[in-house]
Structure 1
Amino acid sequence: MTYQTCNQIKALVQAFEQHTLPRSQWTHTAHLTLALWYLAHYAPSEAIDRMRDGIQQYNAAQGIQQTKNSGYHETITLFWLWVGQWYLADRRISRLALDAINQFLERCNDPTLPFHYYSRDRLLSWEARTNWVEPDLHPLP
C-alpha cells in the first residue's frame, strides 16, 4: 500500500486511537505506519507506551482476546518499533513526511523479517507474546 496524502495517515492514527478502525484495516501495514508515526512524534519510550497501550486498548474494544495464538505480542511490537527507530535514525529524519512512510513500508513491510532474528518456537512462545525476549538467531544490530 502507498499513501497518497498525509491525511490518510492521520485518519488511520485517529481511527486507531478512537478504536473505530475497522478490524479489516488493522493490517501489518497499519501496524508499521502507526509505529513509524509514533516514533516520529514522540520520544522512543513514549512511542513504545503509546503503541503497546494502543494495541491492547484497540484489541479490547474490538473483542480480540489475548490467547496463546492471538492478541497483543510484546516482542513483535518492540521488534517493529526497533526497525522503525533504525529506519528514522539511518535517514536522519526529523520530520515525518509522506514519502518517508511510503519508503519505509516499501523497504520494511516484510512480515517474515522477525524470523531472520528469531526461531519460530521462540518468537511464537507465550513468553515472547507477553514479554520482550532477545533474538536467538541473530542479535539486533
Structure 2
Amino acid sequence: MTTTNILGDADIARIAHGLIDRSLPKSDWTHAAHFAAALWLVRAGREAEMPGLIRAYNTATGVANTDSSGYHETITQASLAVARAALAAAGDVPLGDVLAALMATRYGRSDWPFACWSRARLFTPAARAAWVEPDLARFDPAVR
C-alpha cells in the first residue's frame, strides 16, 4: 500500500515537543497529532510520560481533566498500544511514514474505539480514570 505522509518527522517532533512543553496550539492537537505524539514518545522510550503530559497540556490549554472531560486513560493506553504495534510492524523507518500508514488504517478515524467499546462504557468516569476492558469486541492494536 502506498501512503502519503500527512506530517513529516520535523512536524512530528514539533508536536511532541509542543505537548511536552505545553506550547502546541490547541488547534494543532488533532487526532493525527495524538498519534504523532504517541509514536514519537514510544520511539523515544518515553511513552510512560504520555498520561501526565496530556493532563498537563489539557490544563495549560483550558481543558479540565474531570470525570466527563479532558484526559482519558483507556483511550490513551489503547492509542499507545496501537503506536507500539505500528512501530513494531514498520521497523526503523521515518515516523512520518509510520504515521501515514497508521492513519490509512481504521485507526485514522477518530471513532475507531467504538468498534471495541460502547459509548456507554467508554465515556464512564472509570474508563477515563483507568483501563477498562472493551465490551463489544476484543481490542487488537495491530495496524493493518
TM-score, with length taken from structure 1: 0.86
Amino-acid identity (%): 34
Mapping of residues 21-36 of structure 1, within 5 Å:
21-36=24-39
11, 16, 34: which is aligned to 2:14?
A: 11
How far did 1:95 drift?
4.9
Residue 30 of structure 1: how far off its partner (Å): 0.8
Cα distance in structure 2, aligned partners of 1:97 and 1:61: 27
2:75 aligned residue: 76
More helix by share: 1
CA shift for structure 1 position 22: 1.0
2: distance between equivalents of 1:132 and 1:97? 27
Q: Is residue 111 of structure 2 the alignment partner of residue 104 of structure 1? A: no
Aligned length: 135
In 2, Cα distance between the equivalents of 1:97 and 1:72? Answer: 24
Structure-1 residue corresponding to 2:117: 118
Aligned residue type for 2:6: T
> How far has the Cα of 1:25 moved from its partner?
1.1
**Alpha-carbon distance between aligned partners in 2 of 1:77 and 1:56, rounded to the nearest angstrom:** 11
State whether residues 13 and 34 of structure 1, in contact with CA within 8 Å, keep that contact through their aligned partners in structure 2. yes
2:13 and 2:26 map into 1 onto residues whose CA distance is: 17
> Which letter does structure 1 place at the counterpart of 2:64?
Q
Q: Structure 1: where are the runs of 5+ without partners?
A: none
Match of 1:85 in 2: 84
The unaligned stretches of length 5 or more in structure 2 are: none
1:42-93 per-residue CA deviation (whole Å, 9 max, x = no partner) reads 1xxx41x2111110111121221123331100001011111112222233x1
Contact 2:6-2:96 at 8 Å conserved across structures: no
Measured on the aligned residues, the alpha-carbon RMSD in Å equals 1.7
Are 1:33 and 1:105, in contact at CA under 8 Å, matched by a contact in 2?
no
**Which residue identity is paired with 1:34?**
A
Q: Structure 2: how far apart are the matches of 1:15 and 1:60?
A: 14
